[in-house]
Structure 1
Amino acid sequence: MFQILSIKGTINFLRHAVPISILSLVLVLGSLTSLATNGINWGLDFTGGTVVELEFSSPSDLEALRAELSSVETDGAVVQNFGSSRDVLVRLPVKEGVATDTQVSQVMDAALKFDPQVVQKRVEVVGPQIGKELAEQGGLAVLVALICILIYVSFRFEWRLALGSVAALAHDVIITLGVFSLLQLDFDLTVLAGVLTVVGYSLNDTIVVFDRIRENFLKIRKGEPEEIVNTSITQTMSRTIITTGTTLVVVVALFLKGGTMIHGFATALLMGIFVGTFSSIYVASFLAVKLGINREHMMPVEIEKEGADQDALMP
């Protein structure tokens, strides 16, 4: 009865796998092209610069303050609220031949024009060497995460599924980075945290599907691998919709109302949720099918009991 209901109630997701996989390939190649030509718009966390935190006596006009910081020394300054409408964070890029004290003084002169009672709360300087180390360590963190995931899934499931999961994760990360490169959005440490969160979210979704695939290969004796995969995806779809829907509610709220400080983090998560959901089906699962996954690969390895060969020789 279980076998009949599982196969009959299946939605043929993989019927559209080829065109969607081609679309994914185009998106990945486009992202790689953008990364190679446009690069990434690294934030001050990676390039180095100066951060000045100001406290105004009344809500500040950020647009007017940005317009005031248009001199050569402060060109490219990022002005944003920090916590409340009276607290302002000014992020200044490194300028060759311009001292940090000069930049800070110009920021204070511009702020005093709007509020004579403005208070300079802190000044932090991030050197370019530290920023370079952060970029290298961040990229290394993503690479190590992918390698550890490949090893984990190989032991937990099977190497064909492991390759599919890592391909899906690489797909999600590359497309997310491609969007930031194409739109030239600031890439800072919060965005890096968002990318790593996307890796974890996408992996969780893929593991749920793979776990059901393994169960169904053992339970459903009749059926082609593609049918088993379609059945597994269908059975986990309600869970995927609920998880994705509730996560999207939070991420959209952060994207719209979270403020500038976590806007990049929310953008990375928003992109990662969309691409991660369909990559679990049309990248990870479809690649495993194309690599020839079948029921025999899911069977547990039989361990020969001690003395079994001697028992077989006994009359």
Structure 2
Amino acid sequence: MSKFSNLGHRLHRGEIAYDFVGKRKLWYGVSLLITVAAIVGLAVNGLKLGIEFSGGAVFTTPKTSISVSAAHDKIAGDTAGHDATIQKLGNGSLRIQVSDISTDVSKQVQKNIGKDLGIASTKIDAEIVGPSWGKEISQKALEGLIIFLVLVVAYLAIAFEWRMAVAALVALLHDLTITTGVYAIVGFEVTPGTVIGLLTILGYSLYDTVVVFDGLKEASKDITKKNRFTYSEVANRSLNATLVRSINTTVVALLPVGALLFIGGGILGAGMLNDIALALFVGLTAGAYSSIFIATPIVADLKEREPQMKALRRRVLAKRAADAKRAAEAEARGESPEDEADDDSAEPEDAEAAAAVVGPRGQGARTTGARPQSGSRGSRGRNRPSGKRR
């Protein structure tokens, strides 16, 4: 068994744990900085909408030896005052995209491109997208995203509770903001492939989040009847139990996406793959981060504000303080503190009662030097191999 696999087993069994929930203010700060940087990039650069959303024309030339940079220089000034995006396709042809031009203007641009590149304009294929159609597509995409978020929140509120639905929504908005901000900073075009990528990563982010929430829901069942862990501690244990699985699934998903982005789009020059690959790569990374460092800590924050969870925290802390006091007294007498059976149902209901019960146990019951012989201790002693009490 590898070290990583052994680590996963130990995390799942609760033998070791990383305090993600306890350090949630640190993760909130990191997320805030990343989100602000994304918003600034979005405000400064803006999104570069493809012609499917802004309208325009796409001109495809026959196979040519002209490079992308040479084509830029040749057609400069002949694209009706708009910037042209040029890509070299796999068959050797050029794909020239000019946004925000009408049908009449696109005909003149087509003639100019043919003249500048030395290609007959009749051999250049032109695909025109009207501005009204692009606006309609943008509106439909936004409506689809809003409907998706509403359905997700409704489902999580019914299947789990409204606090988990709020936490999942915050995590999703966090992922969307970071992904769109990276798009603005990098300058990639927003195409239908981008929308597909965004919806895909939202679903993937929800998958990780729901897995953690399902384990948390099961682990926190009847938690107020026990005095062993606070809600935040139970949330952290549930998060650690699924940590390795979340990392494994994210890495496996990022490998093919990274190949599309860095090899397909970067090395091989298949530029059209960049649109969906960048959205997937950034979104998957942000989704894995938010499911671990954002969603679960937010649920813990919201739950800890409930009166019953506040009372639970007081009881847990009082019990631990009492246990520490008994251990210190036993150590002072040179004795080894004995483990006591965990009976959460018998614990007092508040911190003051806990302190009152522990006091006589830790002081009055042991001032004579005799140990109280409880039934649970006697039976536990009989179950030892020697059959004797230690």
Bin of the TM-score, shorter chain as denominator length: 0.7 to 0.9
Correspondence 1:47-196 to 2 at 5 A: 47-56=54-63, 60-73=66-79, 75-82=82-89, 84-95=90-101, 99-112=105-118, 119-120=123-124, 122-196=125-199
Q: Describe the superposition over 1:101-153 as per-residue Cα deviations: whole angstroms up to 9, x where unpaired.
A: 1111122223436xx89943x32111111111122221221111111100011
| TM-score calculated relative to the size of structure 1 | 0.82
CA–CA distance in 1 between the matches of 2:59 and 2:17?
A: 58
Cα distance 1:160–1:61, how it changes in 2: closer, same or farther (>3 A)? same
Partner in structure 2 of residue 308 of structure 1: none
**What residue identity is the alignment partner of 2:252?**
T
**What residue identity is the alignment partner of 1:262?**
L
Q: Which runs of 5+ in 1 are unaligned?
A: 298-315
CA–CA distance in 2 between the matches of 1:117 and 1:288?
A: 61
Correspondence 1:15-26 to 2 at 5 A: 15-26=22-33
Q: Which one has the largest radius of gyration? A: 2
* Overall identity of the aligned pairs, in %: 26
**What residue identity is the alignment partner of 2:98?**
L
- Pair 1:290-2:301 in alignment: yes
Partner in structure 1 of residue 342 of structure 2: none
Correspondence 1:199-218 to 2 at 5 A: 199-218=202-221
The residue matched to 2:174 in structure 1 has which SS?
Answer: helix
Do 1:50 and 1:125's aligned partners in 2 also have CA atoms closer than 8 Å? Answer: yes
Partner in structure 2 of residue 231 of structure 1: 237
CA–CA distance in 1 between the matches of 2:71 and 2:145?
A: 37
The correspondence for 1:39, drawn from 46, 49, 53, is: 46
CA–CA distance in 1 between the matches of 2:45 and 2:181?
A: 10
Deviation at 1:46, TM superposition (A): 1.2
**What residue identity is the alignment partner of 1:277?**
A
Supply the RMSD in Å over aligned alpha carbons: 2.8
The residue matched to 2:57 in structure 1 has which SS?
Answer: strand
The residue matched to 2:61 in structure 1 has which SS?
Answer: strand
Q: RCO greater where, 1 or 2, for CA within 8 Å and sep 6 or more?
A: 1
The residue matched to 2:175 in structure 1 has which SS?
Answer: helix
CA–CA distance in 1 between the matches of 2:33 and 2:102?
A: 39
Q: Describe the superposition over 1:160-219 as per-residue Cα deviations: whole angstroms up to 9, x where unpaired.
A: 111101110011001111222234332222112221112111111111111111222239
Q: Which runs of 5+ in 2 are unaligned?
A: 1-10, 265-269, 310-390
**What residue identity is the alignment partner of 1:63?**
S
Partner in structure 2 of residue 281 of structure 1: 292
